[in-house]
Amino acid sequence: AQKITQTQPGMFVQEKEAVTLDCTYDTSDQSYGLFWYKQPSSGEMIFLIYQGSYDEQNATEGRYSLNFQKARKSANLVISASQLGDSAMYFCAMRDGVSYNQGGKLIFGQGTELSVKP
Amino acid sequence: DVKVTQSSRYLVKRTGEKVFLECVQDMDHENMFWYRQDPGLGLRLIYFSYDVKMKEKGDIPEGYSVSREKKERFSLILESASTNQTSMYLCASSRGYRGGYNEQFFGPGTRLTVL
């Protein structure tokens, strides 16, 4: 069954330090994609980074990188040099073959609330 | 700049009222989605549409209906609002291709309270 699990409801990190947000997924498909979104208190979901299941290299976008471990079915988000503006809810999401039949919907995890301390 | 807009940021309604949530996108996207967001549950798909006048049920369609009369507009309707429909509602859109790296763009959300 399709499932995304984020086991950290809340996390704290000191400004300028790196932080890892955990995400594990479950799918029986070989072809799938993994996304991370950021949701500030304003409510809008902001796309951060994408990793395809066949991508050999870990995805990177600026201060964001995705630690993709296919055998372990994990897709952790690493934020380097945390900033106060990084304080937000972070969601891991997946699209797979079942999603394809539902308009390409995304399956979301429960979210992790990150707080960056000055 | 690409944009998805939702008609209201905050809405308060009474039990039994008919509620309309409107969503408009300016990216000429084929796919549009309505999600519901609840604490500890993440986002769950209510309905989606892949073309004008086409609609498909998502994972939690009960108590909701949708309308897509124009490509840019996707409406979520609560025929008779109930307190368990108090939630954050997020609209999203994406290009027609359903797989791979096809980012969904989200609106700012509507926080609905049903009293």
Whole-number Å distance between alpha carbons of A43 and A40: 6
Helix, coil or strand: residue B50: coil
List the one residue out of B45, B82, B50 whose CA is nearest residue A103. B50
CB contact under 8 A, B99 and A95: yes
User: What is the C-alpha to C-alpha distance for residues B75 and B59, in angstroms, rounded to an integer?
Assistant: 17
pLDDT tens for B36-81 read: 999 888 999 999 998 898 899 998 999 999 999 999 999 999 999 9
**Coil/strand/helix, residue A100:** helix
**pLDDT over threshold 90, residue A31:** no
pLDDT at position B101 is 74
Average model confidence (pLDDT) across chain A: 93
Q: Does A52 touch chain B (CB under 8 A)?
A: yes
Structure-token pair, residue B88: 């954050």
Interface touch A95/B111, C-beta < 8 Å: no
Choose the closest CB to B101 out of A44, A45, A50: A50
Average pLDDT over residues B81-102: 87
Instruction: List the structure tokens of A31.
Output: 């072809």
